[in-house]
Structure 1
Amino acid sequence: MLLILLFVFIGITLIQLVYYVFIFGRFSFAKKQTIQPKKLPISIIVCAKNEEENIKKHFPLLVSQNYPDYEIVLIDDASSDETLELFEMYEKQYTNVKLVKVQNNEAFWGNKKFALTLGIKAAKNEYLVFTDADCYPASNDWLLHISSQFSKEKTIILGYGAYEKIKNSFLNKIIRFETLLTATQYFSWAKIGNPYMGVGRNLAYKKEEFFNVRGFMDHMKIRSGDDDLFINQAATNKNTEILFTPESFTLSEPKTTFKSWFYQKRRHATTAKHYKGFDKFQLGLFFFSQFWFFITAIVLLAFQFQWMIVLGILLFRYLFTWISLGYAAAKLKEKDVMYWYPIIELILTFTQLNVFFRNLISKPVHWK
C-alpha cells in the first residue's frame, strides 16, 4: 500500500508541476507589460449599499483621475445610511458624475446585479470600468492604464484587485497570498486562451459585451457572480486581455478577523459551482492535487517509507512552486507573502476544505 501511495504522491507532484510551471508560468514568467494610452471615453461604474464611510474616503481618488474623458456612474442600491445624500452632493458638485437611484424591487430584492444593470444602461460611454465602493485606485493613472489595453478585438480587461498591507498581521498575509494565487490562476488561463473569471474590484469591458450575453439574465437568480459569472460567460480567447501594471491596481481594506474572512470565502465559493464544466474541472483538479500532496507526503514521512525519495520530491515541488509564484508575486507587488508560503499554503488548503463542507450544510448570505 505504501508503494502505491508513493506512486500516487509522484503523480500528484507531476500534476502540480504542470499547473505551476506550464500553466501559471504563462503569467509568472511573462514580460513586463507596457502601455500605450488611448484615452477612450470611459464610464466608471460604482455600486454602493450602505457604504457612506468608504465613499467619503475613496471618491476623491476616483474624481481626480489623470484622464481627459470619463464619467462616474454612482449607483445607490436602496441604502439606509447617508450614501444617497453623499451621491446627490457629488452629482451637484461634479459635472461628470451621474447618480442612479435604485428602489427596492420585489422581483430583484437585494440583488446587486439588478442595480448594476441599471447603472450600465445609464452610462453614456461604451467603455465601462468597474470597481467596488470599498476599493480605490492605486494611482491617478488607473484609467490611463486600463484604456491602453482596449482595442478593436480586446473588449474585456481583467485587472488586479489587491488588498492593503497590515503590518504584523499573519491573517493579512494569508488574505493577500490567496488573492495573489487567484490572480495568478485567472491571469494565466486568460493568457492560455481560456479566461474564466475576473474580480469586480477591477474589471473593464465594452458595453456591447454586456448586451451580447443578455447581461446578467442567465444567472440573475444567483446572488453572487456579477463579475466572475459574467466573465465566465462572455470572455473568450479573442476578446479578453489582462492588465497587471502596478498603476492599474485597485486596493481594498482586508478583513481583520478570521471569522469575517472565512465568511467572505464562503460567499465567494458558492459562485464557482456555476462555472463552465472545464473551469470547474481544472479548479477542482488543482485543489485536489494540493490537498492530496500534503496528505500523501505526511503519511509517507510518518511511516518513513522511502523517506529520502519523498523528501527529495517534496523539496523539488517547493522549489518550482516557490519560483513560479515568486515571479508572479513580484509582478503583483506581493513578494513579502512568499516568505511564509509553505505555512500559508497549508492553512489555505485546509481552510478551503472547511469552506466546502460548511457550504454543504448552510448557504452564506450575499448582497443585502
Structure 2
Amino acid sequence: MIFSAPSLTETILLITIGVSWLIQLWFLLVRVRPLAFFKQAQTRSSFQEPVSVIICAKNEAENLKKFLPLILRQNYPAFEVIVVNDSSEDDSDLVLASIKQKHPQLYYTTIPKDRKFSHGKKLALTLGVKAAKNKYLLLTDADCQPAGEDWLKEMAQGFAGNQTEIILGFGGYEKRRGLLNNLVRYDAFFTAIQYLGFALSGKPYMGVGRNLSYTKALFVNNGGVKKHAHLLSGDDDLFVQERANQQNTTVVIKAAAHTHSIPPASFQEWLQQKRRHLSTNRHYKTGVKSELALEPLSRQIFLFTSAYLIIFNTFALVAIGLIVIRLSIQLILWRRAAKELNQGSLYWSVLIYDWLHPWLLLLAQISNRKRRNKYRWK
C-alpha cells in the first residue's frame, strides 16, 4: 500500500491538533493532577486558637434565620461570629437580634443605607475584619450552610503550619434536580479544580468568599482591599491574588470543611453571577491570565480540529486516538477530584460541558464589556 505525503492543509491541521493536545495534557498533568491525588496532611496537634467567623449580609433575613444558627453551633472551643448587615431593607436586624439572645458569641453591626453613597461588599468586609477580636479569620456567606458542626475546626487546622496565612476551602452548591442545577454545580466544580489545582501546584491565584480563611494581620498590614477598592467585585479573589504564594497558602478540602450554597434559581441569575465574578479577571497577574485563557482556547481548538479531521480527513484515526487518550486521562483525574470534593458523579458532566462551558463563559465576558463597573452587591 502506498501512502501519499500529507498536503499543506493536512500538515497544518496535524500540527494544530498535536500542539493543542499537548497543551491540554500539560494542564491535566500539571494543574489538575495535584488536586486529584491530594492527601490532606494529618496534624499531630489540633489547632484550637480563637477564630472570628465573618459574614457580610445584604437582604439575607431568611438565610440568616436558616443557616446562621448552624454556624453558631460549631464544635470549636473558642470562636465569635461577626455579621455585617449591609444596608438591608428586610428584617435582617430583627433576625440577628433574636439569634443574639440565644448565642452570645454572635456580634453584628448594620451599615445604614445612604442613597448618596454607593458601595460594594468590600466596605462590609473591612468593617467585619476591624471588628474581629481574633488573629484568625474565616469567611463565608449568609446563604452558605457548613457541611457539619466540624466545619470551623477542619478549616482552622490549615493554620497548624507556622507559615500559613491563607487557607483555600471549597464552597459548592446544593444538589437539586434539573439541568440548571447541573450547570451551576459543574461550574463551581470546574472553578475549584482550577484554583485549588493551581494552588497545589505552587501557583495560588484566587479563593472563594463562600469558604476562605486568612489571618487578620495579613489583611490589616497590607491595606486590606485598598488596592482594588474602586472595583465593586474582587473582595475574595483579588485579595488572594495579591497576597497568596506557595509558602503562605494551604488548601483544606476535607468533606467536613466544605460549605454548600443555595444555587441560582434561573439561568439569568447564574449568568449575572458569572459576570460579576469574571469582571475581576483582567486584574489578575499576567501569567495567571495567560494560563486561564490558554486552557479553554486550546481545548476548543483541539475539539474543533478533531471534529474536522474525523469528518473530512483521512487522519480520523489520529484524531480519535488523541481524543480517547485525553478523555481517559481527564475522566480519571476528574473522578478523583470529584471524590476529594465530595461531588459524586458530577465529573461525567464534562462530556457535555467540555465544549459548551467555555462558550457560556465567553457570553458572560462579552456582556461584561457592556456592563463594566456597573455591578452592585444585591
In which range does the TM-score fall when normalised by the shorter chain? Answer: over 0.9
Distance across 1 between alignment mates of 2:16 and 2:375: 39
Q: Which residue number corresponds to residue 267 of structure 2?
A: 258
1:310 equivalenced with 2:311 (yes/no): no
The within-5 A match list for 1:2-151 is 2-35=10-43, 36-104=45-113, 109-150=118-159, 151=161
The answer (yes or no) to whether the contact 1:40–1:69 under 8 Å persists in 2 is yes
Distance across 1 between alignment mates of 2:270 and 2:355: 17
SS at structure 2 position matched to 1:289:
helix
Amino acid at match of 1:26: P
The answer (yes or no) to whether the contact 2:85–2:109 under 8 Å persists in 1 is yes
Alpha-carbon distance, 1:348 to partner:
0.8
The answer (yes or no) to whether the contact 2:186–2:349 under 8 Å persists in 1 is no
Distance across 2 between alignment mates of 1:257 and 1:177: 15
SS at structure 2 position matched to 1:311:
helix
The answer (yes or no) to whether the contact 2:331–2:348 under 8 Å persists in 1 is no
The answer (yes or no) to whether the contact 1:104–1:110 under 8 Å persists in 2 is no
The within-5 A match list for 1:196-215 is 196-215=205-224
SS at structure 1 position matched to 2:287:
helix
Cα RMSD after superposing both structures: 1.6
Deviation track 1:54-109 (CA, whole Å, cap 9, x = no partner) reads 11110111111011100000110010000122122333432211112212457862
Amino acid at match of 2:315: Q
Distance across 2 between alignment mates of 1:171 and 1:345: 16
Specify every segment of 5 or more residues in structure 2 that has no aligned partner in the other structure, as ranges.
1-8
SS at structure 2 position matched to 1:241:
strand
Alpha-carbon distance, 1:353 to partner:
2.0
Q: Return the TM-score normalized by structure 1.
A: 0.95
The answer (yes or no) to whether the contact 1:37–1:145 under 8 Å persists in 2 is no
Distance across 1 between alignment mates of 2:365 and 2:82: 36
Specify every segment of 5 or more residues in structure 1 that has no aligned partner in the other structure, as ranges.
none
Q: Which residue number corresponds to residue 192 of structure 2?
A: 183
Amino acid at match of 1:28: A
1:162 equivalenced with 2:162 (yes/no): no
Alpha-carbon distance, 1:140 to partner:
0.2
Stretches (4+) displaced over 4 A = 105-108
Distance across 1 between alignment mates of 2:50 and 2:371: 44
Q: Which residue number corresponds to residue 362 of structure 1?
A: 371
Deviation track 1:236-281 (CA, whole Å, cap 9, x = no partner) reads 1111100000000000011232222122111111111111111111
Alpha-carbon distance, 1:33 to partner:
4.6
Distance across 2 between alignment mates of 1:32 and 1:249: 14
Amino acid at match of 1:24: V
**Identical columns (%):** 36
The answer (yes or no) to whether the contact 1:161–1:249 under 8 Å persists in 2 is yes
Alpha-carbon distance, 1:300 to partner:
2.1
Q: Which residue number corresponds to residue 6 of structure 2?
A: none
SS at structure 1 position matched to 2:279:
helix
Alpha-carbon distance, 1:231 to partner:
0.3
The answer (yes or no) to whether the contact 1:100–1:122 under 8 Å persists in 2 is no
Distance across 1 between alignment mates of 2:155 and 2:349: 32
Q: Return the TM-score normalized by structure 2.
A: 0.93
Q: Which residue number corresponds to residue 236 of structure 1?
A: 245
Q: Which residue number corresponds to residue 3 of structure 2?
A: none
Q: Which residue number corresponds to residue 348 of structure 1?
A: 357
The answer (yes or no) to whether the contact 1:129–1:203 under 8 Å persists in 2 is yes
The answer (yes or no) to whether the contact 1:213–1:233 under 8 Å persists in 2 is no
Distance across 2 between alignment mates of 1:298 and 1:262: 29
SS at structure 2 position matched to 1:218:
helix
Matched residues, number? 367
SS at structure 2 position matched to 1:24:
helix
